[in-house]
Structure 1
Amino acid sequence: MSSIVEFFVAPDDTSAAEALRHGPGQAFESLSFGNFDVEEAVVEWECLLAGGSFDELADAGEPRFVAEQDDGGSVVFAVSSRLSAALAAAERSRLREAAVAWAERRAADGEVVRTEIAEAILTGLAALVGSARHRDQAVYCWVA
């Protein structure tokens, strides 16, 4: 489980990788959360919002890492273009449905994610994706 999860906007993989050691900080527009397995979550969200199976996406290399510390510390990965497109296109009601479904999946695995928190994460991320797309940039995630 990740203790710090920070989604952020960057122009490219190289710029995003610069966040590896200390996080995106003030250099990038960002959104912070914590205490959930975000690497698994982004794959689940893509399944819920864009279709496909968890195994197919994981086998395809999602999420795609752009930087990793050798000691198993922080990582930076890209939010897939498919998930970004689904988030950008989703109405608030669709994001709520996905949030409820994700919270239920987590509960089935013994992890507690309140529906309100799940919805805040997905709506916040959708807004961040919209901002990134407006600037022709992408969304990444720093995990520590």
Structure 2
Amino acid sequence: MSGIIKFFSAPDDASAASIVDSGPDSAFGSLTCGNFDASEAVIEWESLLTGQSFEALVASDEPHTVVDLGEEGGPLLFVVSAALQGALAGASAARLGEVGGLWIEERAAEGEAFDPEMVEELLGDLADLARTAEVRSHALYCWMA
């Protein structure tokens, strides 16, 4: 689990990596959340949104790590797959609610509990960020510390 999670958009990996030490600021339009494993969550969300199996996504090395300073006690930065970014950007509020409910069930099976309102807000805000990234021709990134 991660203490601080920030999703943000950036034009490319180099731009995104430039913030790895300090985290994204408002210039990148970040969304802050916490207390879950974001690298696992994005795989689960992509699986639920696109129908690809969790195992196939893991085997395809998703999400792609940009910077991992974890061995040094530092943050992890990864890029969200283009498929997940597109699926989030194109999802309706009803679809995001359905995915959120399914994700809550998956996490409950693993002993984790999430507030449905928090999940609904998180996925809605993340979809908004994905839409903004698409308009700007940016990619969606996640910074975890």
- In the superposition, the TM-score normalised over structure 1's length comes to 0.96
Aligned Cα root-mean-square deviation (Å): 0.9
Q: Where does residue 93 of structure 2 map in the other structure?
A: 92
State percent identity of aligned pairs. Answer: 49
Q: Where does residue 41 of structure 1 map in the other structure?
A: 41
SS in 2 for 1:76: strand
Q: Where does residue 83 of structure 2 map in the other structure?
A: 82
How far apart are 1:22 and its partner, in Å? 1.1
Deviations 1:76-113 (A, max 9, x none): 10011000111111110000000000011111100111
How far apart are 1:71 and its partner, in Å? 1.3
- Equivalent residues of 1:20, 1:68 under 8 A apart: no
Q: Where does residue 57 of structure 2 map in the other structure?
A: 57
Aligned pairs, number: 144
Q: Find out whether 1:4 has 2:4 as its counterpart.
A: yes
| Structure 1 unaligned spans of 5+ | none
CA distance in 1, matches of 2:50, 2:73: 30
- Equivalent residues of 1:8, 1:139 under 8 A apart: yes
